[in-house]
Amino acid sequence: MKSLLKVLFAIPDRIYYLYQLIRFAPQMDGRLTIHGKMYMYSQRAHICFGNNVEINSNLKSNPIGGSTKTILYAKPGARIKIGNNVGISNACLYAAEEIEIGDNVLIGGDTCIYDTDFHSLDAKEREFKKEHIRIAPVRIKDNVFVGAHCLILKGVIIGENSIIAAGSVVTKDVPPNQIWGGNPAKCIREIGLYEDTLGC
């Protein structure tokens, strides 16, 4: 009886996984592996994957992100582009315009990437629901490693090979080959060719 219940409970997960593969197959260049249930929204928008993308989206596959699911949400007319050999764990990517992830990028558990402020900074605009919301694309270049529990905000470009320390809030561009951390994130040190002890 327990075995039968286990099989029955596993069926919805497999149907959901197949649905995701069928829905996004035309936009995939290669293998997409999803561990758990991922939420994707792309009505009149575009989400595309490169080769060998692996996504953790449950507690079992990556406990660092807690029980949160990976969310890829692209508003109508927006685009999320994910490159080759990318790993994403229990993260949220919300694109009102564009989020672009390069090749060989790792995005840690419970990280959020937003290209919009969602709401106006003006209290009157929020009160009367006539908001002018600021939006700017986010671009994460090749070989970037983003630690767990980070927040990357609109308009940010993270340069090649850079590292974002866990728990950081990134509000401005990060040059290539640097380690940044903190709230707001600042340069901690350069990543040298043979050592990483040089100052910024």
Catalytic amino acids?
119
Q: How many angstroms separate the CA atoms of 39 and 129, rounded?
A: 28
Tell me if residue 57 falls in helix, strand or coil: strand
The tokens describing 100, both together, are 């672009």
Strands of the 71-74 sheet, one edge to the other: 39-41, 71-74, 92-95, 112-114, 151-152, 169-170
Distance CA 135, CA 127 (A): 20
User: What is the CA 13 to chain-centroid distance, rounded?
Assistant: 22
Beta-carbon contacts of residue 86 (< 8 Å; ≥ 6 apart): 50, 52, 53, 54, 101, 103, 104, 105, 106, 107
Taking Cα atoms as reference points, which of 99, 87, 79 lies closest to residue 154?
99
Q: Which residues are 71's β-sheet partners?
A: 39, 92
